[in-house]
């Protein structure tokens, strides 16, 4: 009996301690946010992933800004994308913004999920830059209710990187691939495989990036236009994309990889001949210097059966967001003055980082018009910019990755012989149960 | 009475620190998680939904697939590992064995490697162009590379091989220490009675190891139900959800998708319930009230 009493007492004390701790936290919430107050130099912390791309780009912005703003000290912290997502989620959901940065890079597919799950956590930056100067398709994912929360950064504009030497052996020229459908793409792939013995494309069964690109080229997505519910059963673009995917698998032109380094290796060691992907893949292609002059980039293929499908799509791409913590005004100003309006910075991004932005005025600059020797003198940046303007604007909604995981499973079922309509109906059912 | 109650106060005050700590860092979060499991929504916008989350579990195909995979690992991997650990420990306990220390260290060594580090190495070993495939091809045992990571069947095998490699040595140590506590005279008496060594193993070693068998199978069961690092790093749950485990599903619900911490808490409570059921079951099967 006594033991019970003591235990009860202990737990009561504990509960009291916990509840008082809670109220203390909420009270102090406004005051304990990041950033040094009253200091002469304001510190702006930035989180980004990929040292050779995003971090490098941010460093260029920092240099450009430091010239005439000595009062702002920008600190860039490199984190893996998964870690950033995880830390933002834990930080924002715990209700304390301590330890969170001022500026954070978020992938466009995830942006709505963050902004709607944590409505007050982000700071609107509509007045810090001119949204109409940026590519149309970037504005949907980065804004909520007409307010811009994200400053559009890199373009995920897609194209197909092809090995011209393998193509020639198979009797094709780069010109033959300028206006093709996915069916043509597969036929060419078969021919290449036949003559050179090389696979045509490398795919990861867990990553439906290629499906996403195909359906976005037709202005369609996993979700309905309002981004709220799944649009799978009866989605004609998705149905055709599934069929193309299966045809590719059946044509025996696909090499399977299971992670990023295998993927890149398949191209760098010359065992696969084409890559439909985002322009940020350029750095990985050019890493194999012995293949200089053997690559070209052609427009993204169309879906043959879909009238809306165009030769342009997108894969990935991200934007900068300002968190609603102390120092947000300075952070927003910094973004506005650099990525929001600095044309010279965008030229440097091309020459130093290879990052293609979505800021339209930048396309007039010199760097955008320079030919690239690695790609046989092709003017790749201006090609990509041209395609960027044509990318259909779709709403990525809040649930792209949740639906993607369902699609991945159903794709396996489809490849194993389940009928396409059944596959999409089942996927729709699962997605409806998951998304509420 | 007075002295007695005084000592009581003193002893309770010693215990209270530990009790308080356990309450703050174990029971309080557990209760909070239980409350959370009745809520649903995105991020911080959580609302009470009653038992909706638990009903959703029953129809959630991803959850059911993850459950099925977890059971498969459990039913196949745990017995293999336990038997292997017991077998190796008996071999290593042989008095005539030379280089005993070396073998023990070698077999225990996997247990000290970091989960992530070994998972990454396994991923490369079992890659399509990895060492295992290359070796098998060169030995002409197979003609085309086995898709260890991207084929639904082989991916499961890869995970099972990986966790068996990592945890067998760990369990072996428990058996080894238990074996050393068995009085040698029992074996001597058995030998004098003319018992064969397999008879000795099944009639002496196994019964005397029973508490350890119970202990290792319970800890392994719990470990399997919480399996995360290996799957996350080797296959990411794929292909499809062929290797997805419950813990990874919780991770996906909280961090990969638009976060629904409420439903994630529900899935974690499903694991708690399973662990309790399995532990009770194993105690009952072992049939020994004292464990």
Express each pLDDT in A395-427 by its tens digit. Answer: 898 889 889 989 999 999 999 999 999 999 999
Contact (Cβ atoms closer than 8 angstroms) between residue A134 and residue A341: no
- Cβ contacts from A onto B, under 8 A: 115
Q: What is the model's pLDDT at position A50?
A: 86
Choose among A431, A11, A13: nearest CA to A223: A431
Instruction: For residue B128, list chain A residues with Cβ-Cβ distance below 8 A.
Output: 256-258, 262
Question: What are the angstrom distances between the C-alpha of A365 and each of A77, A343, A361?
Answer: 30, 7, 8
**How confident is residue A38, by pLDDT bands cut at 50, 70 and 90?**
very low
Opening angle at CA A149, ends A146 and A152, nearest 5: 105
Contact (Cβ atoms closer than 8 angstroms) between residue A246 and residue A414: yes
Nearest by CB to A11, which of B23, B43, B61? B23
Best residue of B18, B56, B255 to probe chain A, by most A CBs closer than 10 Å: B255
Hey, what domains does chain A have and what are their CATH numbers?
Answer: 42-155+315-365 (3.40.190.10), 158-313+393-434 (3.40.190.10)
* B23 part of contact set with chain A, CB < 8 Å: yes
Asked if the bond preceding B239 is cis, omega within 30° of 0, the reply is yes
Residue A158 has pLDDT above 50, yes or no: yes
CB contact under 8 A, B23 and A14: yes
Which ipTM value was assigned to this complex? 0.75
Express each pLDDT in A273-306 by its tens digit. Answer: 999 999 988 888 988 889 999 999 999 999 999 9
CB contact under 8 A, B60 and A259: no
Question: What are the angstrom distances between the C-alpha of B222 and each of A372, B34, B43?
Answer: 57, 19, 29
Task: Calculate how close chain A gets to B161, using CA atoms only, in Å.
Answer: 18
Express each pLDDT in A353-412 by its tens digit. Answer: 888 888 888 888 888 888 888 998 899 998 998 898 899 988 898 889 889 989 999 999
In angstroms and rounded to an integer, the radius of gyration of the C-alpha atoms of chain B is 24
Q: Residue A132: in which H helix or E strand, if any?
A: none
CB contact under 8 A, B42 and A2: no
Q: Is A50 strand, coil or helix?
A: coil
Q: What is the model's pLDDT at position B1?
A: 56
Express each pLDDT in A172-183 by its tens digit. Answer: 999 999 999 999
Three-class HEC string of chain B: CHHHHHHHHHHHHHHHHHHHHHHHHHHHHHHHHHHHCCEEEECCEEEECCCHHHHHHHHCHHHHHHHHHHHHHHHHHHHHHHHHHHHHHHHHCCCCCCCHHHHHHHHHHHHHCCHHHHHHHHHHHCCCCCHHHHHHHHCCCCCCCCCCCCCHHHHHHHHHHHHHHHHHHHHHHHHHHHHHCCCHHHHHHHHHCCCCHHHHHHHHHHHHHHHHHHHHHHHHHHHHHCCCHHHHHHCCCCCCCCCCCHHHHHHHHHHHCCCCHHHHHHHHHHHHHHHHHHHHHHHHHHCCCCC
Task: Calculate how close chain A gets to B62, using CA atoms only, in Å.
Answer: 8
Residue B139, exposed/middle/buried by CB under 10 A (0-12, 13-18, 19+)? Answer: exposed
CB contact under 8 A, A405 and B24: no
Q: What is the model's pLDDT at position A297?
A: 94
CB contact under 8 A, A17 and B236: no
Question: What are the angstrom distances between the C-alpha of A107 and each of A75, A145, A403?
Answer: 20, 19, 16
Domain B55-286 has CATH 1.20.1250.20: no
pTM for the whole structure:
0.81
Task: Calculate how close chain B gets to A3, using CA atoms only, in Å.
Answer: 9
Q: Is the dihedral of CA A194, A199, A200, A204 positive or negative?
A: positive
Question: What mean pLDDT is predicted for residues B50-60?
Answer: 88
In angstroms and rounded to an integer, the radius of gyration of the C-alpha atoms of chain A is 24
* A269 part of contact set with chain B, CB < 8 Å: no
* A92 part of contact set with chain B, CB < 8 Å: yes
Contact (Cβ atoms closer than 8 angstroms) between residue A105 and residue A318: yes
Residue A37 has pLDDT above 50, yes or no: no
Residue predicted with more confidence, B261 or B1: B261
CB contact under 8 A, B43 and A82: no
Task: Calculate how close chain A gets to B68, using CA atoms only, in Å.
Answer: 15
* A432 part of contact set with chain B, CB < 8 Å: no
CB contact under 8 A, A117 and B62: no
Q: What is the model's pLDDT at position A188?
A: 94
Longest dimension (CA), chain A: 91
* B19 part of contact set with chain A, CB < 8 Å: yes
Nearest by CB to B252, which of A7, A259, A405? A405
Instruction: For residue B149, list chain A residues with Cβ-Cβ distance below 8 A.
Output: 258
* B116 part of contact set with chain A, CB < 8 Å: no
Residue A40 has pLDDT above 80, yes or no: no
In chain B, domain spans: 55-286
Residue carrying structure tokens 């995981």: A405
Q: What is the model's pLDDT at position A19?
A: 43
Express each pLDDT in A106-144 by its tens digit. Answer: 999 999 989 888 888 999 999 999 988 998 888 888 988
Task: Calculate how close chain A gets to B111, using CA atoms only, in Å.
Answer: 26
CB contact under 8 A, B61 and A430: yes
Token output for B8: 């009581």
Choose among A415, A25, A379: nearest CA to A208: A415
Residue A17 has pLDDT above 50, yes or no: no
**Buried b / exposed e along A98-111 (16+ C-beta atoms within 10 A):** eebbbbbbbbbbbb
Contact (Cβ atoms closer than 8 angstroms) between residue B69 and residue B245: yes
Express each pLDDT in A228-262 by its tens digit. Answer: 889 999 899 999 999 999 999 999 999 988 888 88
Express each pLDDT in B142-177 by its tens digit. Answer: 888 888 888 889 999 999 999 999 999 999 999 999
């Amino acid at each position: 009996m006594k033991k019970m009493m003591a235990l009860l007492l202990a737990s009561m004390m504990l509960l009291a301690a916990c509840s008082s701790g809670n109220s203390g936290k909420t009270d102090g919430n406004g005051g304990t946010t990041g950033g040094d107050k009253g200091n002469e130099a304001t510190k702006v912390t930035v989180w980004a992933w990929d040292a050779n791309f995003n971090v490098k780009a941010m460093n260029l912005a920092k240099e450009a800004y430091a010239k005439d703003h000595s009062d702002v000290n920008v600190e860039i912290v490199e984190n893996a994308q998964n870690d950033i997502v995880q830390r933002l989620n834990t930080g924002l959901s715990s209700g304390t913004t301590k330890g969170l940065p001022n500026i954070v890079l978020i992938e466009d597919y995830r942006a709505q999920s963050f902004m709607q799950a944590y409505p007050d956590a982000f700071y609107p930056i509509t007045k810090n830059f001119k949204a109409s100067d940026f590519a149309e398709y970037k504005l949907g994912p980065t804004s909520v209710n007409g307010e811009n929360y994200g400053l559009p950064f890199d373009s995920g504009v897609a194209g197909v990187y092809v090995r011209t030497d393998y193509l020639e052996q198979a009797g094709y020229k780069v010109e033959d691939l300028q206006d093709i459908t996915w069916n043509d793409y597969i036929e060419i792939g078969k021919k290449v495989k036949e003559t050179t013995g090389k696979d045509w494309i490398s795919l990861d069964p867990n990553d439906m990036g290629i499906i996403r690109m195909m359906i976005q080229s037709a202005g369609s997505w996993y979700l309905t236009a309002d981004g709220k519910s799944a649009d799978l059963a009866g989605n004609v673009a998705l149905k055709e994309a599934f069929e193309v995917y299966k045809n590719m698998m059946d044509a025996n032109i696909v090499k399977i990889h299971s992670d990023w380094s295998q993927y890149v290796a398949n191209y760098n060691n010359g065992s696969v001949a084409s890559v439909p992907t985002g322009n940020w893949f350029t750095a990985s292609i050019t890493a194999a210097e012995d293949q200089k002059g053997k690559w070209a980039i052609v427009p993204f293929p169309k879906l043959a059966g879909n009238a809306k499908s165009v030769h342009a799509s997108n894969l990935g791409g991200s934007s900068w967001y300002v968190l609603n913590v102390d120092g947000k005004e300075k952070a927003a100003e910094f973004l506005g003055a650099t990525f929001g309006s600095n044309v010279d910075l965008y030229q440097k991004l091309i020459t130093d980082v290879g990052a293609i932005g979505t800021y339209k005025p930048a396309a007039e600059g010199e760097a955008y018009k320079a030919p690239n020797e690695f790609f046989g003198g092709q003017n790749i940046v201006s090609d990509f910019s041209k395609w960027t303007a044509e990318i259909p604007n779709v709403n990525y909604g809040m649930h792209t990755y949740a639906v993607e995981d369902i699609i991945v499973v159903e794709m396996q079922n489809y490849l194993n012989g389940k009928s396409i309509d059944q596959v999409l109906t089942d996927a729709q059912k699962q997605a409806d149960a998951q998304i509420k | 009475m007075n002295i007695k109650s005084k000592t009581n106060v003193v002893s309770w005050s010693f215990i209270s620190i530990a009790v308080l700590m356990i309450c703050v860092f174990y029971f309080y979060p557990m209760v909070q998680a239980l409350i959370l499991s009745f809520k649903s929504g995105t991020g911080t916008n959580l609302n009470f939904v009653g038992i909706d989350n638990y009903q959703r579990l029953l129809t959630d195909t991803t959850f059911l697939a993850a459950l099925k995979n977890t059971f498969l690992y459990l039913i196949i991997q745990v017995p293999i590992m336990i038997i292997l650990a017991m077998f190796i420990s008996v071999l290593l306990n042989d008095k005539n064995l030379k280089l005993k220390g070396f073998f023990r260290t070698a077999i225990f060594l996997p247990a000290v490697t970091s989960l992530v580090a070994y998972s990454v190495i396994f991923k490369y070993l079992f890659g399509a162009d990895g060492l295992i495939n290359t070796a098998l091809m060169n030995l002409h045992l197979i003609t085309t590379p086995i898709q260890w990571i991207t084929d639904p069947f082989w991916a499961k095998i890869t995970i099972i091989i990986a966790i068996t490699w990592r945890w067998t040595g760990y369990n072996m140590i428990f058996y080894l220490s238990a074996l050393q506590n068995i009085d040698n005279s029992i074996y001597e008496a058995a030998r004098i009675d003319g018992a064969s060594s397999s008879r000795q193993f099944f009639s002496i070693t196994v019964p005397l190891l029973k508490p350890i068998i119970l202990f290792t199978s319970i800890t392994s069961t719990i470990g399997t139900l919480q399996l995360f690092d290996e799957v996350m790093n080797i296959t990411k749950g794929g292909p499809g959800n062929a290797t997805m485990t419950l813990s990874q599903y919780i991770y996906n619900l909280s961090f990969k998708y638009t976060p629904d911490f409420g439903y994630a808490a529900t899935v974690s409570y499903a694991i708690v319930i399973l662990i309790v059921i399995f532990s009770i079951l194993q105690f009952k099967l072992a049939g020994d009230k004292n464990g």
